[in-house]
Amino acid sequence: MLAPILLLALASPQNVQHLFAVDETNSLVDWEVNTSIGGVNESPDKFKLNGTINLKLDATQAPFTLGQFDGALLVTIPEALYGEIPNPIPFLPPLATFDLVGLQATVTSSVFSINPATGAFTAVVTLHTTAGSNTLGGLFGSGTEPAFGTVSLPTSITGTITQTGGNLDLLVNLDVLVTDDLSGITVSTHIFGPINADAAVAAANASTLTVPVPLTVGAFATFSVNNLNPGATAWLAGTFDGTGSTPIPQLGITLNLANPAQIGAPTVASGAGNAFWTLVIPAVVAGRSVWFQALQNGLISQVAGTYSF
């Protein structure tokens, strides 16, 4: 009976939400791009990551035994990434070029086990791009198209989650392969390197917003947020303009969105501090990235990004 009990425990949801801030200085990842018509020269060779990672754990502080990645807002630094397939005749223009601007991604996983003594884990993750544009040239075609909607294969990666005093330190050894098709040319991008992030133990049970990725125009979508103030009014804000800073003095908060608008009607958080909005996705969202944030008097969630075709 021991094996079924262990499997049941591993599949159970984690109930302590931690929000990790990515350490840009120590999150330098490499990328290698290859295509069905030749290798690509990338610029820069490596890029940094910034943003947040949502991680559910089975406790407020170490030791931990179970975890689950349930979203992220990962942003590339610099914002623009360039690649070209060089022409074999040196003085001629490149065979193909691409300019990626404003690329963002989220990360999810199934529940994984954590070594309580060392904090080491192995997780099967999926990387999903949620924002950005790609300007193509040469054999890739011409014009600008969305860079969101590309999904990696579920991939096994390693990492550690440790505690120093009142701070949690997360190391993710990112190693994923993303494939795409540009004008009939297969493009494979290998992204690998460390992501370092940290979270304060005192900030456990952070208010965390979950949004569908992607959204489907004309269909219902449910936006849910946990760890709100029970019994208090909650609002959902959204924008097409990305992250920014918008003070809401009436509630004593500052939203991390640019030009936000209220989405749906206000609701009241349950006694457990949960709230949700079930909305029909309008046609105006089609082909766009959109960012959301939940808010209450004196309280905000993290920013969650998604998109719709």
Q: What is the CATH number of the domain that holds 246?
A: 2.60.40.1930
Cα distance between residue 309 and residue 307, in whole Å: 7
State the burial class of residue 38 (Cβ atoms within 10 Å of its Cβ: 0-12, 13-18, 19+): middle
pLDDT at 14: 61
Residues 116 and 254 in one domain: no
Cα distance between residue 85 and residue 97, in whole Å: 6
pLDDT at 183: 81
Cα distance between residue 92 and residue 82, in whole Å: 18
Q: For 283, phi and psi rounded to 5 degrees?
A: -65, -25
Residues 167 and 302 in one domain: no
pLDDT at 221: 98
Residues 141 and 273 in one domain: no
Q: Are strands 120-138 and 96-109 parallel, antiparallel or unpaired?
A: antiparallel
Q: Which of 177, 203, 229 is the last residue of a domain?
A: 203
Residues 172 and 56 in one domain: yes
pLDDT at 4: 38
pLDDT at 11: 39
Residues 199, 203, 206, CA angle at the centre, nearest 5°? 100
pLDDT at 182: 82
Cα distance between residue 240 and residue 243, in whole Å: 9
Q: Which of 146, 171, 203 is the last residue of a domain?
A: 203
First-to-final CA distance of the chain: 47
Which residues have CB under 8 Å from 177's CB, separation 6+? Answer: 152, 153, 155, 188, 189, 190, 191
Cα distance between residue 205 and residue 121, in whole Å: 21
Q: Which of 203, 237, 252 is the last residue of a domain?
A: 203
- What residues form DSSP beta bridges with 129? 105
CATH of the domain at 63: 2.40.160
Residues 195 and 216 in one domain: no
Q: What is the pLDDT of residues 87-119, one digit of tens each?
A: 999 899 999 999 999 999 999 999 999 999 999
Residues 163 and 243 in one domain: no
Q: What is the pLDDT of residues 49-69, one digit of tens each?
A: 999 999 999 999 999 999 999
Residues 176 and 254 in one domain: no
Residues 292 and 221 in one domain: yes
State the burial class of residue 161 (Cβ atoms within 10 Å of its Cβ: 0-12, 13-18, 19+): buried
- Lookup result for tokens 């690998």: 192
Domain hosting 221: range is 208-308
Low-confidence ranges of the chain (pLDDT < 50): 1-13
Residues 153 and 214 in one domain: no
Q: Is residue 49 a contact partner of residue 77, using CB atoms and an 8 Å limit?
A: yes
Q: Is residue 171 a contact partner of residue 160, using CB atoms and an 8 Å limit?
A: yes
Secondary element (H or E) of residue 3: helix 2-11
Domain count for the chain, please give it.
Answer: 2
Give strand ranges (E) for 10-95.
16-22, 28-35, 38-39, 41-43, 46-57, 66-77, 80-85
Residues 38 and 141 in one domain: yes
Helices and strands: H and E segment counts in the chain: 1, 25
Q: Are strands 261-262 and 299-300 parallel, antiparallel or unpaired?
A: unpaired
Closest CA to 267 of 304, 220, 228, 232: 232
Residues 115 and 32 in one domain: yes
Residues 225 and 104 in one domain: no
